[in-house]
Structure 1
Amino acid sequence: MRSILPLSVLLASLPILVLACSGSPEEAGDSCELDGDPCPDGTTCQAKGDDDPVCRIEAGGACNPKEDDDFCEKSLVCEPDEQNISRCSIPEGKPCDPAAADPHCSGQNVCAELKSGGHACYPPVLAHGRVFDAVTNAGIANAQVLGLNDQGSAITDIAVSAADGTYDLDLPVARNDDGSPVVITFSLRASAQDYQPFPSGLRTSLPIQTSGAVKQEKAYVLQLPLTDISLVPLPGAEKGLPSISGTVVAGEASAGVLVVAEAGGKGLTAVSSKTGAYTIFNVPPATYTVSGYAAGVALTPAPATVLSSPLTGIDLAQATATLGSVSGSVQIVNAPGGAQTSVVLVVESTFDDTFVRGEVPRGLRSPLSGAPNVSGAFSIANVPPGKYVVLAGFENDGLVRDPDPNISGTQIAHVEMPNPGQPIDVESSFKVTEALAVVSPGAEGPEGVSGTPTFVWQDDSSEDFYSVVVYDAYGNLTWENQMVPSQSGGDNVSVPYGGPALTTGMYYQFRATAWRSPGGNAGPISQTEDLRGVFFIK
């Protein structure tokens, strides 16, 4: 005979049957209990406001913004990423983890360092500009642009220009609490196939400040005249040459290394990016020694045989060599009281006798950064092995190396740091004197000129005559006047250009020298500064 359970027993068992059938949560949006079965991977059991808890999607997980509830964790937003896939992300202004492989900031925001401490998601800071041909104004594709700090160290990766020459360079700058970038100073370096690198020759890179960045829809954008870079095309015979590329492998010291491919006493250069990557363009076929120069690090040179194709994989590894130092003194004569200068080391193979300048590696300057402060003794520490030219009065400080070669302390000084390094004392002091002040063109930076230029500088007042020379960006002498009469009764000397027609877009520099001829023997007494007097034809 069948037994029949009482109704009360059946009713009492129903809740147990329902619970047994409910199961564990299986996907985002499923109901869950905060202390019950775990939610599936990538989700967390969480309640929003007064709603019952459900499995909510963690940062980085895919979501559906069209649903009434996107099921993202309560601190996240559902927004498209760079691949236009909607994901649960950290909204602008909220904390993020910079050590995470992907910090999951919303949209194109980045996990930025805060000046006050910590990190938060904010739009990137981009230097936007255009790389173009100085002669034709056409955009240059595949140019490489790099940002350097005031010590010459790379602070960015390499940005590559688009077909029209435009580029966006990501600047890793700290932020104020409102997300705006703090003010930093940096400069740009650019290079491309078939063009002179910038800066080089008579062209220098002027400092840029991030204070001009403007917040736009997806980024803080810094777009200034200085972020547009014109490159001077190489002569036809120097075009179509291969390149050398590789990586500097020196840990935290890999960024901002001056990489030089040297052959026959001459060097071709690049500067390594934040990740250590470098490319030297326009390399004639030959066998080279590729070396790296920067204060505080020694690198093992690498051989490179260039034929007709680009050469890759020429990496520079850190060496264990002892570093040295270069010391000496500067004597400032016939200059205003309190005048100060700086001293730099130039890699000898990059030194240009015409322009009396060359490439200064990161950190090989006294003082290390900032305004010139040398008026006597100087010392440059942590110098890696190599051959250098020591230059004083090289920067725009109102001073120049005394141009008279007949007195001591005015000759160009060359030093060689051995391996292992040692202290080197430059025997004779450098004599530095007051410069002839450039009035125009190019008093403060490269200046555009229409028509025939007139060169103007302040009178020396003690000269017997002047000379003036004009060079183009290739180092060719374009015009000279070796007998400009002494000035009297005025503050400035003006000399109109009298040479062949100048090329539109080409860069030039004029240099004036004051001469005195006691007893009929002429000798130079001062000249314009090495980095001033640069102009281009509009």
Structure 2
Amino acid sequence: MTLHRSSSWFLIASILAYAFAACGGDEDGNEAPERCSVLDQTGCAAGLACEEVEGGGPGCFAPVTLKGRVLDALEMAGLAGARVIARDANEAALSRVAVSGADGAYTLQVAARRDRDGKPVAASVTLRADASGYETFPRAPRVALPLDLATATGDPPRIETVATDIALLGLPDVAGLGTVSGAVVAERPGGTLVVAGGVTGAADVDGAFTVFNVPAGDHEVRGYAGGLQLAPAAATVRAGEETGGVLLNSLGAATAVVRGKVSIVNAPGGSETSVILVVKDTFVEATKRGEAPRGLRAGGVSGEFAIEGVPDGTYKVLAAFENDDLVRDPDTSIGGTEILEITIAGADHAVDATFKVTEALAVLSPGAEGLEEVSGTPELAWADDSSEGGYTVQVFDVFGDLVWEDLDVPEVNGGGEVRVTYGGPPLDAGMIYQFRATSMSKGQNPTPLSQTEDLKGVFVYR
């Protein structure tokens, strides 16, 4: 059928009128007093989401969804009742919570900035999943694979790949554990890290949170997010029960600043690193790792750094924790190598911190490029440190428990690589492990020189 020119213009005008009306405009294409609201998700027709548009005002579009399954890592069966949220590169929530169904399947709608044609623009998001009786994902040394929203396909656009399937590891002992739930009552609460009894949950874009696997007893519940000061709340947890209605109310802006300096030495392979603040209650002493709240990170650090908007609390300050070819200098015989613990109390409080960072020992296998499957008796390999007098090597499970160690690995003459055969108890199928190697100086009282990176050397045993 051929349309006359007048009919064509009428059709185009009708389409434009619908588009503008959906976002609060009128039939003449003029902006109405109220356009659709990205924050409140109002002003769009049913089934559409209000999204930011590059170079223009917000518009209404078919939402981007992430589809996948939450699985029991040992049984590889669907896990019901898991809570999944999407987070941006700063770990701020981009979604409400999706709860997995009987087969573990979930569908998660995420906010996605659009170009002029309505296509999602490049943006990296990651997933977090929590479930009763299971270890939270991600938790170091496990990392979440980034998903690029620009890769969403179809109409409506969605992403469904192996990276949207999440395998959770069951906790070794769930007796005496309960649940805390409630809400963060503040502006833009999404991504707030909620801590109760050393266990964490994350608030969604509306502030709703659930913390699973909290030990029974009386606990102080605290929320942490950059720039946000929250009043703590009390909760009494009973085994097998949920303590609901816990509210973390805003006290206003957090204004404390943590300042310091990083000195990078003997590191031809790396020139910049990062510094993060880890909540003390989540810190695992054996593996020197923990959870950092949204926004409490300084990246691209080669000298001085500042982390602003730090809420009250006690933190461990970690430098070079991420995979950047660098590690915190482990040499305890010199200054600036210890892990600092700081307490923030009150506005405009600044703490100075200085760190020495050095080149990491390169991991060769397993886990050089990410989580790697291993079977049989693992052989652990890393690059030789030419100035060493020997090495130590340790293997931890994903919960941070030491499984095996060899504290007397001999030096390697002539450089190259170090290879050690695992000599501990049988490894559990489906369990995730990490090995950490440390080079030691020569002499009768050796000191540490360097280590493998905090998030490498990770493998799953099959």
- With structure 1 as the length reference, what TM-score do the two structures score? 0.77
Give, in angstroms, the shift of residue 219 of structure 1: 2.1
Q: Residues 220 and 193 of structure 1: is their aligned pair in 2 closer, same or farther, counting only changes over 3 Å?
A: same
Offset from partner CA, 1:397-455 (integer Å, 9 cap, x none): 111111122221111101111124412223xx211111101122111221122332221
Residue 198 (structure 1) aligned to one of 137, 153, 156:
137
2:309 is matched with which residue? 382
Q: 1: distance between equivalents of 2:102 and 2:368? A: 34
* Structure 2: stretches of 5+ with no match in the other structure: 1-5, 8-12, 25-35
Give, in angstroms, the shift of residue 255 of structure 1: 1.2
Look up the SS of the partner of 1:226 in the other structure.
Answer: helix
Say if 1:270 and 1:278, in contact at 8 Å, map to a contact too.
Answer: yes
Which amino acid in 2 is paired with 1:225?
A: V
Tell me the matched-pair count.
439
2:280 is matched with which residue? 348
Q: Given the alignment of the two structures, is residue 412 of structure 1 paired with residue 339 of structure 2, yes or no?
A: yes
Which amino acid in 2 is paired with 1:229?
A: I
Residue 44 (structure 2) aligned to one of 103, 128, 140:
103
Q: 2: distance between equivalents of 1:242 and 1:337? A: 46
2:460 is matched with which residue? 536
Look up the SS of the partner of 1:353 in the other structure.
Answer: coil
2:190 is matched with which residue? 255
Give, in angstroms, the shift of residue 296 of structure 1: 0.8
Offset from partner CA, 1:14-73 (integer Å, 9 cap, x none): xxxxxxxxxxxxxxxxxxxxxxxxxxxxxxxxxxx89xxxxxxxxxxxxxxxxxxxxxxx
Q: 2: distance between equivalents of 1:379 and 1:111? A: 35
Say if 1:194 and 1:239, in contact at 8 Å, map to a contact too.
Answer: no
Which shifted more, 270-279 or 499-508? Answer: 499-508
Q: 2: distance between equivalents of 1:322 and 1:149? A: 21
Q: 1: distance between equivalents of 2:270 and 2:196? A: 41
Which amino acid in 2 is paired with 1:404?
A: D
2:115 is matched with which residue? 176
2:27 is matched with which residue? none
Which amino acid in 2 is paired with 1:395?
A: E
Look up the SS of the partner of 1:211 in the other structure.
Answer: helix
Q: What is the percentage of aligned positions where both structures have the same residue? A: 47
Offset from partner CA, 1:179-213 (integer Å, 9 cap, x none): 32111011111100110111124222232212332
Q: 2: distance between equivalents of 1:352 and 1:149? A: 25
Q: 2: distance between equivalents of 1:322 and 1:161? A: 35
Offset from partner CA, 1:276-322 (integer Å, 9 cap, x none): 11000011211111111111110111111112420111011111476
Residue 408 (structure 2) aligned to one of 483, 489, 492:
483
1:334 is matched with which residue? 266
2:127 is matched with which residue? 188
Q: 2: distance between equivalents of 1:116 and 1:419? A: 40
Q: 1: distance between equivalents of 2:81 and 2:245? A: 19
Say if 2:22 and 2:43, in contact at 8 Å, map to a contact too.
Answer: no
Look up the SS of the partner of 2:163 in the other structure.
Answer: helix
1:397 is matched with which residue? 324
* Structure 1: stretches of 5+ with no match in the other structure: 1-48, 51-73, 77-88, 368-372
Give, in angstroms, the shift of residue 177 of structure 1: 3.5
Residue 204 (structure 2) aligned to one of 273, 295, 301:
273
Which amino acid in 1 is paired with 2:302?
A: S
Q: 2: distance between equivalents of 1:101 and 1:395? A: 39
Look up the SS of the partner of 2:281 in the other structure.
Answer: helix
Q: 2: distance between equivalents of 1:213 and 1:227? A: 12
Q: Residues 124 and 512 of structure 1: is their aligned pair in 2 closer, same or farther, counting only changes over 3 Å?
A: same
Q: 2: distance between equivalents of 1:419 and 1:382? A: 11
Residue 213 (structure 1) aligned to one of 149, 152, 160:
152
Q: Given the alignment of the two structures, is residue 229 of structure 1 paired with residue 166 of structure 2, yes or no?
A: yes
Q: 2: distance between equivalents of 1:413 and 1:222? A: 41
Say if 1:239 and 1:282, in contact at 8 Å, map to a contact too.
Answer: no
Residue 242 (structure 1) aligned to one of 161, 170, 178:
178
Give, in angstroms, the shift of residue 225 of structure 1: 2.0
2:214 is matched with which residue? 283
Give, in angstroms, the shift of residue 486 of structure 1: 1.5
Offset from partner CA, 1:239-258 (integer Å, 9 cap, x none): 57321011111123x11111
Say if 1:184 and 1:210, in contact at 8 Å, map to a contact too.
Answer: yes
Give the number of the structure whose residues are more often strand, by fraction.
2
Give, in angstroms, the shift of residue 355 of structure 1: 1.6
Which amino acid in 1 is paired with 2:85?
A: L
Which amino acid in 2 is paired with 1:478?
A: V
Larger Rg: 1
Q: 2: distance between equivalents of 1:484 and 1:401? A: 22
Say if 1:294 and 1:364, in contact at 8 Å, map to a contact too.
Answer: yes
Q: 2: distance between equivalents of 1:501 and 1:256? A: 38
Residue 526 (structure 1) aligned to one of 427, 433, 450:
450
Q: 2: distance between equivalents of 1:239 and 1:170? A: 34
Q: Residues 421 and 384 of structure 1: is their aligned pair in 2 closer, same or farther, counting only changes over 3 Å?
A: farther
Say if 1:90 and 1:104, in contact at 8 Å, map to a contact too.
Answer: no
Q: 1: distance between equivalents of 2:64 and 2:119? A: 9
Say if 2:193 and 2:202, in contact at 8 Å, map to a contact too.
Answer: yes
Q: CA RMSD in A?
A: 2.5
1:458 is matched with which residue? 383
Residue 161 (structure 1) aligned to one of 86, 100, 107:
100
Look up the SS of the partner of 2:246 in the other structure.
Answer: coil
2:362 is matched with which residue? 437
Q: Residues 111 and 343 of structure 1: is their aligned pair in 2 closer, same or farther, counting only changes over 3 Å?
A: closer
Give, in angstroms, the shift of residue 490 of structure 1: 5.0
Say if 2:177 and 2:238, in contact at 8 Å, map to a contact too.
Answer: no
2:237 is matched with which residue? 306
Offset from partner CA, 1:478-529 (integer Å, 9 cap, x none): 22222222223452222222222211111000011111122x2121111101
1:424 is matched with which residue? 351
Q: 1: distance between equivalents of 2:43 and 2:352? A: 51
Q: 1: distance between equivalents of 2:143 and 2:382? A: 20
